[in-house]
Chain A
């Protein structure tokens, strides 16, 4: 039993020693680095897959060791948990000591002040009593105590700079608070992205299924999202001549709270640096792109229009790729219908340039849109049970011969092409879509509060010096008084010299006064 206690005590002591804390601090720095150098799943899952594929066993080993999820890995968590245990172990006794120190009187004046790092002396005709009273006035704001010594000398012990330790404790406790608030935010927060057409398209934060991607916190199951709806009426992007974006602006309307009952919509200009904050959530404008509009006239005279967003593959020119898919109309037989689906895939250029037959985009704005499309007919595999991207067709269906390419052509706005069975496809132009992100983090305000306290604590603890000064006035046999001043900066010597010089000058200047 006592051996166990000793073990626990030694572990605790080891863990809370400054040496250990420093080592853990550097381990934390070291452990965070791979997150900047290796691709991370939380930022770009696709890059991680590519990296693993490119690096063989080494890539897989890193994956096993959670190097692609550094900040959620067991070893990173271990480092910061140990560090914070060590921090608590360091802070508790210091806090105790701090409150004790508040009531302690400044220490006795050392016998030999000449041995202090800062020291000055002078003699005067004033009595020790006068010297001490003069010094007390000068030491206003210091915590002082006047004592009398056996040989009739009078001394003052003065101390200043307790705020340094206050700042120090505030800083470290705020760091703890910040970590806890951060962790709670990760548990109870969520983040979801969705693409909405910018011609009155709507999105409601009512369920996870409304999102294209959704990242819930550990304690979020998606059943209790904050209710609000948005409607994107219009989107406008402005570009400079060189294609650099100048401004993005989406006119949206939203409703939340009581507005949901009454059906009231409130307008909001959504821009990159000004998210909509409503119902405890934030709504961001993250990106934009184009939806090509196709009208398909089937041989039986029926028409269908397709408006599926395509995704930019070049972020500068906004050349985009995607797939717009159609079911044939008026085919009652499910089997027959499934086998004569249509898909339009290819490249969309908002401002077309042709190099021969090759289409590319010259500019991100939709000045002269054109598409270079491949048309496929057959079974798209939408009910094959496999998941399917909305941006592409299932290549396996093509390989299996179930889906065949029936045309390839460039179309400018308003142009059309005719398939062998008489189906006509017309390219009607483009429409904007916007990518929105909804974020929920109930504790981020606390993170901010603690961050501000971190700055305040840090500023105070680094700018204030804990320092002591002693004055001793010793009466001499000839009636004069020798005044000695000694100074000691308790935490850091740097910078105390100037203050001490000024202070000792004032304290010793007594003789001129009297």
Chain B
């Protein structure tokens, strides 16, 4: 199987450009977060625009256009750059796929790229739904770090994959797991911010309402958790035909099981008196830490059947 070197090079360039653009977007978002005044009332009004108002009467969509502050302009620029970065990021994955003529998630570099793209897209979708744009920096900073590590330490040249990976389950299992892990990055960040905000310290007062952060974390987890479940089960189906058993407590399988259990714990905790709020947020943050641990430690340090990092 030949590798198209030209496309592979273009893929690397777009990847690098995406990281750089995310970085600038993160800076702009952080500037917005730093300069913005902690105004709760304004946020409320923005949500309610075109809906029901506080007194219960409904007014047809008449949105007043408030004068944009400097902070807000910075934030909007960040958002625009963020979208541009995501387009380049997507292009880099597609180019890699064409260069190798296979699904572009066959080693850890490519896996990380898909994961972070899923995280960015989730963030962009949520930023449209919730008044949380100024948090963009907190989402993009871990993504820039992950992508930087992916592009340097974990980088692997475009190449075909080994026989166990030559299966259509590579397309299904790895993409679903990678996308769900990427989506879970957002609730991970939201829960950490929730913990900061609800600690009540003055320096975190500019963060959005704890309630908004909680809903953000919950809704994205509720979307990603079934996806993660599907990913694990697809992996089991693949393992049955590639390794001779559907479940064998390989280190990666074990940690995936553990994170699944912890996420299940989070969903239960959020519905249990006495566990709502901070305890649930702690559980969710911990669950994301486990996901990251599973990505790096299990792939790079322990040896198991999932050692496909392509890192020598």
Q: Which residues of A contact B (CB under 8 A)?
A: 18-19, 21-22, 25-26, 28-29, 32-33, 35-37, 40, 42-43, 70-71, 114, 119-122, 182, 191, 240, 244-248, 271-275, 282, 284, 286, 437, 439, 441, 444, 447-448, 451-452, 454-455, 458-459, 462-463, 491-495, 497, 501, 504-505, 508
CA distance A18 to B275 in the complex (A): 10
Point out the residues of chain A lying under 8 angstroms from B236, CB to CB. 451
Residues of chain B with a CB closer than 8 A to A247's CB: 163, 166
Contact between chains at A246 and B1 (CB < 8 Å) = yes
**A458 contacts B226, C-beta separation under 8 Å:** yes
Q: With A462-B225, A494-B215 in contact, is A274–B249 under 8 Å at CB?
A: no
Other-chain residue from B159, B163, B258 in contact with A245 (beta carbon distance below 8 A): B163
Find chain A residues with CB under 8 A from B35 CB. Answer: none
Cβ < 8 Å to A, chain B residues 217-256: 218-219, 222, 225-226, 229-230, 233, 236-237, 240-252, 254-255
A271 x B226 contact (CB < 8 A) = no
Contacts A43-B248, A455-B229, A508-B58 given; does A22 touch B163 at CB 8 Å: no
In the complex the two chains form, what is the Cα distance from A253 to B215 in whole Å?
59
Chain-A contact segment, one of B37-45, B202-210, B263-271: B263-271
Residues of A within 8 A of B66 (CB): none
Does B160 have its Cβ within 8 Å of any Cβ on chain A?
A: yes
Set A245, A286, A454: member contacting B229, Cβ < 8 A: A454
Decide if B261 touches A120 in the complex (CB within 8 Å): no
* A452 to B244 alpha-carbon distance, docked (Å): 20
Instruction: Flag if B241 contacts A244 (CB, 8 Å).
Output: no
In the complex, residue of chain A having the shortest beta-carbon distance to the beta carbon of B287? A29
B162, CB-defined interface residue at 8 Å? yes
- B 146-178 contacts with A by CB, 8 A: 159-160, 162-164, 166-167, 169
B residues within 8 A CB of A36? Answer: 251-252, 254-255, 258, 298, 302
State whether B302 touches A37 (Cβ < 8 A): yes
- Inside 8 A of A459's CB, which chain B residues have their CB? 226
Q: B6 on the interface (CB 8 Å rule)?
A: no
CB contacts (< 8 Å) of A282 on chain B: these are 244
* Cβ contacts under 8 Å, A272 to chain B: 163-164, 166, 242
CA distance A437 to B274 in the complex (A): 50
- Residue contacts A-B, CB under 8 angstroms, 27 given: A18-B268, A19-B274, A22-B265, A22-B272, A25-B261, A26-B261, A26-B265, A29-B261, A36-B252, A36-B298, A37-B251, A43-B250, A120-B52, A244-B162, A246-B160, A272-B166, A273-B163, A273-B241, A284-B243, A284-B244, A444-B240, A452-B233, A459-B226, A462-B226, A495-B219, A497-B51, A504-B58
A438 → B minimal CB distance (Å):
9
Q: Which residues of B lie under 8 Å from residue A71 when comparing CB positions?
A: 249
CB closest residue in chain A, given B255: A36
- A273 in contact with B56 (CB, 8 Å): no
The residue in chain A whose Cβ has the minimal distance to the Cβ of B294 is: A36
Contact between A439 and B244, CB atoms less than 8 A apart: yes
Chain B residue at smallest Cβ distance from A27: B261
Chain B: residues with Cβ within 8 Å of the partner, total of: 56
The complex places the Cα of A463 from the Cα of B222 at a distance, in Å, of: 8
Contact B226 A121 (CB under 8 A): no
B141 at the interface (CB under 8 A from A): no
Contact across chains for A273 and B162 when beta carbons are under 8 A apart: no
Is B57 interfacial (CB 8 A cutoff)? yes
- Which chain A residues border B258 with CB–CB below 8 Å? 29, 32-33, 36
Q: Nearest CB to that of B242 among chain A residues?
A: A273
Chain A nearest Cβ from B292, distance in angstroms: 14
Given A29-B265, A119-B56, answer yes or no on A462-B222 (Cβ-Cβ < 8 Å): yes
A501 touches B51 (CB 8 A): yes
Q: Does B262 sit within 8 A of A, measured CB to CB? A: yes
Q: A35: nearest residue on chain B (CB-CB)?
A: B254
**Is B257 among interface residues, defined by CB-CB distance under 8 A?**
yes
With contact pairs A22-B268, A505-B58 given, residues A447 and B244 touching in the complex (Cβ less than 8 Å): no
Tell me how far the C-beta of A7 lies from the nearest C-beta in chain B, rounded to whole angstroms. Answer: 25
Contacts of A495 in B (CB 8 A): 219
Q: CA A35 – CA B251 in complex, angstroms? A: 7
Task: Collect the chain A residues with CB atoms within 8 Å of residue B57's CB.
Answer: 120-122
Smallest beta-carbon distance B238→chain A, Å: 8
Report yes or no: B249 in contact with A35, Cβ–Cβ below 8 A.
yes
Task: Report Cα–Cα, A19/B245, bound state, in Å.
Answer: 35
Docked Cα-Cα span, A166 to B304, in Å, equals 39
